[in-house]
Each structure stands twice: as structure tokens, then as C-alpha cells.
Amino acid sequence: VFNTRCRELLSGLEEAESEVSSRSGAARGLLRVNVPVSFGIQILAPLWDAFHELHPQVRLDAELSDRVVDVVEEGYDLAIRIATLPSSSLISKRLAGTRIVLCASPQYLKTYGEPTTPADLAGHKVIGYSYWLGGNIWSFDGPGGQVEVKINPWMFTNNGDTCRAVALAHQGIILQPTFLVGADLAAGRLVPILPDYRSIELGIYAVYPTRKHVAPKVRALVNFLEEKLSELE
């Protein structure tokens, strides 16, 4: 009961702050943001200073975690979700998209051979991502329709950067988003596998609590990210 009442009081204070800030139109105050780890490092870290230049009265608290947080219960103003479509009572704003790519290093493929069908993945060294919604099932759209294959990773990790690093060390095949491996693919450090079989495309969303007054600091960040991340498309 006490915790519930505290949350109600905090919510009321935040509503009041949002209303006052909305009337003034100024983006200001502490902005707590939850961001997936690899996306926060690779994409958002270089952008934060530009946001600060535009909104110097906003203080950022950017927490990096691949855990799906409870935005309301844990007191975040906004979270970035990378998913097919966030399912919740929160407001969701699509900022960009990212394609998931199956890839490995040229040296790995030279050593172990290149799979020619999804079924061939069963005989390869695969690095699994712990938060992959499909678990050990990887799905692809191929010439004959959708194909699902059960993988048996020799290694799991809960961090996309680790998946990338292990693949760059020629230790296996990964399934990771273009925002993480795009530069490696362009430089030839990694190469795409099974080009006729495409994996899913995920949306990059800003999610934030439903309130009568959306704080200018939240609106400012959403608008900023929508503009900057459109370049990922």
C-alpha cells in the first residue's frame, strides 16, 4: 500500500512538472532513458552531444541494458525498444528500422565452408544471442516461403557487441542487426550468408508513458532521434 501510494504521488508530481514545462515550452530537467546496450554504444553515444547542444537545460541519465524494463515502475521517462512491435500500454513511436543479417568472417567461411541452405547451419559453429525472441529457432524468408531452423550454439551471450567480436575473431556465424554489423559488412570484415534467405526486420521504437501532458524533454528527444535515426533506413 505504501509503495503504491508513493508511486501515485510521484506520478502526480511528474504530471505537474510536465504540465508546467509544457506551458513554458522549454525542454529541461533530468531525462532518464533506457537503451539497449549495443545500440546505445554504436548509435546513440555519438549523438548525445548534439542533443545537449540543442537542449542544454536537459540532463541525461542514459542507462544501457538489454533487459526489457518496466518504464513506469522503474521511473524512466523513455525507453528505446528494438522489436517487431512493442506490445504494451505505453505510447510507441517508430523511429527507424534495422534488418537482421546472417554473417561470418571470410576466414571462418574459408575454414569451415559456407552454408548453402538454412538447414546447413546445424553443422556450423553458431553464436547465439540470449535475448533472441525466437530462442534457438531462427526464421528466414526464402524463395519457397518461410523457413525455420533450430540452431545449437556453441556459445550464448547476452550482448550483441560480444557476438560481433567473436564473429570477427573467426569463431562462428551470427545473426545480428545492420546497425551493429553494417560497417563490418561494408568493409569486408564480415560477409553475408544465404543472401536468398532474409531474416526479419525490426523496428526501433521510442516508448514512453501515456500522460495528459508529454514533457517537452521527452518530446524533444523523440523528435531529435526521429530525425537522426532516419538515416539508418
Most confident listed range (12-26, 85-99, 129-143, 152-166): 152-166
The architecture of the domain spanning 2-97+203-232 is 3-Layer(aba) Sandwich (3.40)
Please tell me the predicted confidence (pLDDT) of residue 21: 45
pLDDT above 90: percentage of residues in the chain: 73
For the residues of 54-89, what is the DSSP string, one character each? H-TTEEEEEEE-SS---TTTTT-SEEEEEESS--SS
* pLDDT tens digit sequence for 109-146: 999 999 999 999 999 999 999 988 778 899 999 999 99
Please name the residues in contact with 51: beta carbons below 8 A apart, sequence gap of 6 or more: 58, 60, 220, 221, 224
Q: What tens digit of pLDDT does each residue of 199-218 get?
A: 988 999 999 998 777 899 99
**DSSP secondary-structure letter at 43?**
I
Contact 32, 61 (CB under 8 A): yes
Fold agreement between 2-97+203-232 and 98-201: yes
Architecture of domain 98-201: 3-Layer(aba) Sandwich (3.40)
Give pLDDT, residue 77.
Answer: 96
User: Which range is least confidently modeled, 6-20, 89-103, 180-194?
Assistant: 6-20
Residues 6+ apart with CB under 8 A from 151: 121, 122, 126, 128, 136, 137, 138
Share of the chain above pLDDT 70, in %: 88
Max avg pLDDT among 34-38, 82-86, 228-232:
34-38
What separation in angstroms does the CA of 51 have from each of 37, 77, 92, 224, 233? 19, 16, 21, 7, 20
* CA nearest neighbour of 103 among 3, 171, 11, 205: 171
Does position 19 have pLDDT exceeding 70, yes or no? no
Tell me the whole-structure pTM to 2 decimals: 0.82
What residue segments make up the domains of the chain, in order of their start?
A: 2-97+203-232, 98-201
Residue 189 has pLDDT above 90, yes or no: yes
Which of 85 and 28 is assigned the larger pLDDT?
28
Q: Confidence band (pLDDT; 50, 70, 90) for 16? A: very low
